[in-house]
Structure 1
């Protein structure tokens, strides 16, 4: 009998010009689709607040003991679904929805400068390219030093790298909620496959 796996996926709430945050819309679409009978999917909307994120992420890891946590955020400059390779600890100067930023400008005092995901994002990207999705997928090593990066690093630190971050473009620029939801499901299925090697080889992705 196939063992059940827990996967937690988060999206962000509104902030700035993003009155409707494409990341949470995409996560809600994913929730409708599910990840198959062997995966227990838990979704959460996170507010764009440093202190709340700092408390919520460890609580999610503690509550669900997931095999994988995937955080999803919107990027106003993205035109593809973007897989982030690492999270950064320092340089958080942007104010959140509460007009707050960490006094130390870092996620974890004394933590490493950056933490890489244990997921091979290049292999995941190649796998997705072979599927012929109607959504472009690329990879990045800079999640932006705002709440997205902050959440990612916090989760990577909590899990020793068993986390992922996916940036999506704003809705309609160019993808619909339906397309983003289906792309997110394919991304997470590929990540779960990567956590259970062997991975595959090939080409078709580039770093931005």
Structure 2
């Protein structure tokens, strides 16, 4: 079973493309005969992980792909690492703004994604979808969920998971904006490609996708 998640709108937005893409990708994968479900997470520290953990318990997936919006990024970002740090530049949807707090008290400093991020990168680029491997998921609710996911999966051997950031979709941007965006159909297909490439991969590709800064 495959679980995809996205977030409710935040920061004054009326939509969040991560949820739209997760919902639509799950439907696309079901049409291909795969057992896929999508769950919307609140953009709230703590609550988001609790909703995610409840979904893990209910669905018992073999693969989890969480998605979030990274407005301003021009590409699909396959996140490599989650850090044990909440440091909110803006409040979440409940008004919480933790600073320098651990996601999980006593947890390790970081977890790596168990998705084959290099294989997924190659598959996305082959499909004509702009993509990158990202070395930071930030310190807001996206990283919070990414870390919470990997912390939970340590108790679920055999279940793979990770996090994908998506850009704005064009409908979110005012006329004349020069902010980068990708069509929702492309965001949806990107998540489906990540799922398909993960299911077909046991060992990740060894290709360069690092950063100098």
Residue number in structure 2 paired with 1:155: 149
Contact 1:126 1:202 (8 Å CA) reproduced: no
Matched, 1:179 2:186: yes
Name the structure 2 match of 1:56. 51
| SS of residue in 1 equivalent to 2:101 | coil
Instruction: Go from structure 1 to structure 2 and tell me whether the alpha carbon gap of 1:119 and 1:27 turns closer, same or farther (over 3 Å shift).
Output: closer
User: Residue 29 in 1 paired to residue 27 in 2?
Assistant: no
- Equivalent residue number for residue 137 of structure 2: 143
Find the residue that maps to 1:50 and give its secondary structure. coil
* Pick aligned residue for 2:103 from 80, 100, 107: 107
Which digits, 9 at most, give the CA deviation of each residue in 1:80-116, with x for residues without a partner?
Answer: 0110011111143342111114577121000001001
What are the equivalent positions in structure 2 for 1:194-205 lying under 5 Å apart? 194=201, 197-200=202-205, 205=209
Are the counterparts in 1 of residues 45 and 96 from structure 2 also a CA contact under 8 Å?
A: yes
Q: Structure 2 CA distance, aligned partners of 1:202 and 1:141? A: 15
Question: Aligned equivalents of 2:206 and 2:105: distance in 1?
Answer: 38
- Residue matched to 1:164: 162
Runs of 4+ in 1 over 4 A off after TM superposition: 198-203, 205-208
Contact 2:118 2:205 (C-alpha < 8 Å) held by counterparts: no
Q: TM-score scaled by structure 1?
A: 0.85
Two-structure CA RMSD over aligned residues (Å): 2.1
Residue aligned with 1:97, SS: coil
How far has the Cα of 1:27 moved from its partner? 1.4
| Post-superposition CA distance 1:48-105 (Å, at most 9, x none) | 0112112112212111111111110000121001100111111433421111145771
Change (3 A) 1:101 1:117: same
| Cα distance per residue 1:21-53 (max 9 Å; x no partner) | 11111112213312531x211101111011211
2:40 — aligned with what? 45
Alignment equivalent of 1:69, drawn from 47, 52, 64: 64
Name stretches of at least 5 consecutive residues in structure 2 with no aligned partner: 171-179
The 1:104/1:59 distance shift into structure 2, 3 A limit, reads farther
Q: Where in structure 1 are there 5+ consecutive unaligned residues?
A: 1-5
8 A contact 2:5–2:66 mirrored in 1: yes
CA distance in 1, matches of 2:181, 2:113: 27
